[in-house]
Structure 1
Amino acid sequence: MTDAIDREILRLLQKDGRMSATALAAEVGLTVAPCHRRIKELERRGVLTGYRAVVDPAAVGLGFQALVFVTLRDRAHMLAFEEEVGRSGQIVAADRLFGNPDFLLKVVAADLQAYQQFYDEVLVELPGVEKLTSTIVMKTLKEEGALPL
């Protein structure tokens, strides 16, 4: 069970994943050892699934983004499709949807030409694809945010 202290630890780590155990312990009112044990237990239980750096795509030459709606021909290809999507580095987010379309993919590329090449060489070749519909991201208003804990 996740109690109020665990939720506060999670809230703080979402804001700053590099926060030291010492600073975290001070913020939540624990000593370092129990705070560290709680972090390890949250990791062990799969509540805390990882730590990552947030990189500005444009700063690394990936300033073009497209949202791609995918409809599959049938369910027989679903697992193979999901595995291939998971292997693609340019697909940075993917959601399976209820209804139609079946999936929403977020794709990054250097520019429109690079996206068109990825579309032609990778997206249309994904298992079971019947229909792809792309829309270009004009401006990102909000990145994936922290959970409201």
Structure 2
Amino acid sequence: MDDLDREILAVLQEEGRISLTDLASRVGLTLSPTHRRVRDLERGGAILGYRAVIDPVPLGLGFEALVFVTMRQEDRETLMAFEAAVRDVPNVLQAQRLFGDPDYLLRVRTADLDAYAQLEDDVLSTLPGVQRLNSTLVMKNLVTDRPYPTRPR
């Protein structure tokens, strides 16, 4: 990946709907090589997809919790079952497996505290292998969906 690819990625992270013509102009290339580079970045997996960034509040999802999950056992079968099950919970926006304790971190959105309590009681606590859930309620988001730095430090 060269400097032009990094510049293309930086622009696309900020303006995912920019036209190829405008993108070419911004990075100082003509249309054809810009299109080729974008296609190569997509095929190579640097660009995973495109989406709109949505405010969750108008969707009725104004409550956010971070859920730390400790597993009862950590054999492969249990972990794979948990991971498959958590992928099917639509209110889980992000799920990460961690080193150490706890084992997983989930970012969850619901309508309110009552809806979260019901989700925890009826769904999250019943996922395969779960021993303990520890929730932290999000007071305020300071940084969300920040673009990745295209020049690693």
TM (norm. structure 1) is 0.97
Counterparts of 1:60-99 in structure 2, within 5 Å, are 60-76=59-75, 77-99=78-100
Match of 2:27 in 1: 28
Query: Using the alignment, how far apart are the partners of 1:73 and 1:117 within structure 2?
Result: 22
Paired amino acid for 1:104: L
Match of 2:2 in 1: 3
Shift of 1:144: 2.6
Instruction: Give per-residue Cα distances to partners, 1:115-137, cap 9 Å, x unaligned.
Output: 11111111001110011000111
Query: Using the alignment, how far apart are the partners of 1:96 and 1:86 within structure 2?
Result: 13
2:106 pairs with 1:105 = yes
Match of 2:12 in 1: 13
Shift of 1:50: 0.8
Query: Using the alignment, how far apart are the partners of 1:144 and 1:47 within structure 2?
Result: 17
Query: Using the alignment, how far apart are the partners of 1:42 and 1:34 within structure 2?
Result: 12
Shift of 1:75: 1.5
Query: Using the alignment, how far apart are the partners of 2:90 and 2:22 within structure 1?
Result: 34
Overall identity of the aligned pairs, in %: 53
Paired amino acid for 1:132: L
Paired amino acid for 1:28: V
Paired amino acid for 2:104: F
Match of 2:46 in 1: 47
Structure 1 unaligned blocks of 5 or more: none
Q: Provide the aligned C-alpha RMSD in A.
A: 0.7
Query: Using the alignment, how far apart are the partners of 1:106 and 1:28 within structure 2?
Result: 35
Instruction: Give per-residue Cα distances to partners, 1:66-119, cap 9 Å, x unaligned.
Output: 000001111221111111111211000111111000000000000111111111
Match of 2:124 in 1: 123
Query: Using the alignment, how far apart are the partners of 2:130 and 2:89 within structure 1?
Result: 16
| Secondary structure, counterpart of 1:75 in structure 2 | coil
Query: Using the alignment, how far apart are the partners of 1:86 and 1:144 within structure 2?
Result: 20
| Secondary structure, counterpart of 1:51 in structure 2 | coil
| Secondary structure, counterpart of 2:118 in structure 1 | helix
